[in-house]
């Protein structure tokens, strides 16, 4: 029996969810999806990019990820609304819950995308297209937003199919349809092919997916290393990755933040690193894991980026240890220029119990630090993450737990 894989993608997710919420719960008479509108970040906090845009806005050339001032130059009348991630998480959960009525193998690919393995259950709902029609219509009628559904025998082709003409449509891309439907597309449309790869392929005269599929894999490997083999396989519709109902295990934990103003002193930088350490360490503890490697990334005001990493003396999930390591890495890396963005990443994750090797003359009471972190985690879990914070963050513009989604952006 051939596999039947669906890729289901919410059309302009953040904007659609905003539109539905405003129409249903705020009594708005304006459907954001029908006018030039976009969901965008906060320019005052230097997060001023377009996160989602309507189809009318797209006609002005507005692109996801571009800066808001540039989008406004293209469309002076653009309606801009702030993001509400709490709403988006609820919409995403409702979306996934509906999909789970059709299969017990649903893989959340992102907040607004999912793969569904319909191989064992599709016959209960008709042909693949009939099943997809039923899912698409139920999402539209019950949840209020539209989706595109791609149907194929593997995840890659299903995802490519869902990216065809939008919105509110179903497309198939079976192996026998690749030559007609996929090969004429520009190589930039192929999954895993970014801007830099497009330029390298263009230097070889490869501009369409079909030309990539017909290229010599050895030449691609010499130009793009391992990625050359992968994109050649994708161009030929080859993908053996299964739909995973359970998310893969994290190989690393990290958080980063764009600071509202340029940081040019060590004291403020250390405060930002402390807030990031709080967030990263709490995530490690929540998953019951420890990290044996830490890294710090710095983006300067000129947008140049540098990073530095080191092996820790012992695997840890203690906030104090991660903070100490981050401060040391920052001190070694920082060149004194104004800092726009900071990040902490951890790797070499240990999921089994990890015995700490004692170090001579180390008088740190690790059990006390662990007990303190556990108590703080417990209070935050029960009363919210702002229930406990370090005094250093009182009346400060820096959030005491930076990175990820702030409370302010979860509701408005």
Q: Which residues carry out catalysis?
A: 113
Query: CA 143, 148, 153, 159 torsion: positive or negative?
Result: negative
Q: In a 10 Å sphere around its CB, with 0-12 CB exposed, 13-18 middle and 19+ buried, how is residue 119 labelled?
A: middle
Strands 37-40 and 79-81: parallel
Contacts of 199 (CB under 8 A, 6+ apart): none
Please give the distance of CA 312 from its chain centroid, rounded to a whole number.
Answer: 27
CA distance 333 to 347: 19
The CB density around residue 46, as the number of other CB atoms within 10 Å, is 15
| Omega before residue 25 within 30° of 0, cis | no
- Cα–Cα distance measured from residue 273 to residue 214, given in angstroms and rounded to the nearest whole number: 49
Which value, to the nearest 10 degrees, does the dihedral of the CA atoms of residues 269, 275, 277, 280 take?
A: -130
CA triplet 108, 110, 112: central angle to 5 degrees? Answer: 95
Side-chain-facing half-sphere of 55: CA atoms under 13 Å: 10
Kind of pairing between the strands at 147-152 and 5-10:
antiparallel
Q: Give the whole-angstrom CA distance, residue 397 versus residue 385.
A: 17
SS3 11: coil
Query: How far is Cα 68 from Cα 58, in angstroms, rounded to an integer?
Result: 14
DSSP assignment letter at 320? H
Task: Find the distance separating the first CA and the last CA of the chain, reported in whole Å.
Answer: 49
Helices (H), 127-207: 128-138, 155-162, 195-203
Nearest CA to 237 out of 200, 190, 196, 205 is that of: 190
Q: Are 60 and 50 in contact (CB under 8 A)?
A: no
């Amino acid at each position: 029996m051939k596999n039947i894989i669906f890729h289901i993608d919410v059309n302009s997710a953040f904007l659609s969810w905003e539109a539905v919420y405003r129409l249903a719960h705020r009594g708005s008479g304006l459907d954001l999806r029908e006018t030039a509108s976009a969901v965008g970040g906060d320019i005052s906090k230097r997060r001023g990019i377009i996160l989602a845009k309507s189809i009318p806005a797209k006609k002005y050339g507005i692109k996801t990820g571009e800066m808001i001032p540039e989008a406004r130059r293209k469309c002076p009348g653009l309606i801009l609304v702030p993001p509400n991630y709490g709403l988006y998480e609820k919409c995403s959960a409702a979306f996934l819950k509906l999909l789970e009525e059709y299969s017990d193998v649903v893989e959340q690919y992102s907040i607004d995308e999912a793969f569904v393995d319909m191989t064992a259950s599709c016959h209960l709902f008709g042909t693949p297209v009939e099943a997809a029609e039923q899912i698409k219509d139920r999402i539209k009628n019950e949840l209020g937003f539209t989706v595109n559904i791609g149907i194929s025998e593997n995840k890659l082709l299903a995802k490519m199919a869902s990216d065809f003409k939008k919105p509110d449509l179903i497309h198939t891309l079976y192996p026998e349809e690749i030559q007609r439907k996929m090969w004429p597309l520009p190589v930039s449309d192929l999954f895993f092919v970014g801007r830099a790869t497009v330029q390298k392929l263009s230097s070889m005269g490869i501009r369409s997916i079909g030309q990539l599929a017909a290229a010599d894999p050895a030449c691609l490997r010499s130009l793009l290393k391992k990625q050359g083999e992968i994109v050649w396989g994708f161009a030929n519709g080859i993908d053996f990755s299964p739909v995973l109902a359970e998310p893969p295990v994290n190989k690393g934990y990290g958080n980063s933040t764009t600071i509202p103003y340029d940081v040019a002193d060590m004291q403020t930088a250390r405060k930002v690193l402390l807030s990031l350490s709080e967030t990263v360490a709490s995530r490690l503890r929540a998953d019951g894991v420890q990290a044996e490697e830490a890294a710090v990334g710095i983006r300067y005001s000129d947008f140049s980026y540098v990073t530095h990493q080191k092996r820790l003396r012992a695997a840890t999930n203690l906030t104090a240890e991660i903070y100490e390591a981050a401060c040391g890495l920052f001190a070694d890396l920082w060149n004194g220029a104004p800092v726009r963005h900071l990040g902490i990443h951890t790797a070499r994750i240990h999921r089994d119990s990890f015995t700490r090797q004692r170090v001579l003359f180390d008088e740190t009471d690790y059990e006390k630090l662990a007990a303190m972190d556990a108590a703080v985690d417990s209070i935050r879990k029960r009363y919210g993450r702002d229930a406990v914070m370090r005094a250093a963050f009182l009346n400060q513009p820096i959030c005491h737990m930076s990175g990820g989604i702030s409370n302010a952006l979860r509701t408005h």
